[in-house]
Homo-oligomer: A and B are copies of this chain.
Amino acid sequence: MNRPKTVGVIGGMGPAATAEFFRRLIVATPARRDDEHLRVLIDSDPRIPGRTAAILQGGPDPAPRLREIALGLEAAGAELLAMPCNTAHAYLDVIRDAVAIPVLDMLEEATAKIETGPVGLLATAATARLGLYQDAGRRRGLEVLVPDADRQADVTRVIAALKAHPSPGPLREEIGRVVDALKARGARAILVGCTELSLLGRVDESLVWIDALDALVEATVRHALPGRGT
Contact = CB atoms under 8 A, between A and B. Distances in A.
Interface of A: 12-16, 18-20, 22-23, 26-27, 31-48, 50, 72, 76-77, 160, 163-166
Given A23-B23, A27-B166, A76-B72, A14 B37 contact: yes
Number of copies of chain A assembled together? 2
Given A14-B37, A15-B37, A39-B46, 18 more contacts: A12-B40, A15-B26, A15-B38, A18-B22, A19-B19, A22-B42, A31-B46, A31-B164, A33-B163, A34-B50, A35-B47, A35-B50, A37-B46, A39-B43, A39-B44, A40-B42, A42-B42, A72-B77
22 contacts: A12-B39, A14-B34, A14-B37, A15-B37, A16-B26, A19-B23, A19-B26, A32-B164, A32-B165, A33-B163, A34-B50, A34-B163, A35-B46, A35-B47, A40-B42, A41-B41, A41-B43, A41-B44, A42-B44, A72-B76, A72-B77, A76-B76
Nearest to A165: B32
Contacts of A41: 41-44
Nearest to A16: B26
A156 to B, nearest CB: 14
Contacts of A23: 16, 19-20, 23
Nearest to A11: B40
Contacts of A77: 72
Contacts of A45: 39
3 closest pairs, A vs B, by CB?
A37-B46, A42-B42, A34-B46
Contacts of A13: 34
Nearest to A163: B34
Nearest to A13: B34
Nearest to A4: B47
Contacts of A39: 12, 43-47
Given A26-B166, A76-B72, A15 B33 contact: no
A48 B141 CA distance: 47
Most buried by B among A13, A22, A32, A163: A22
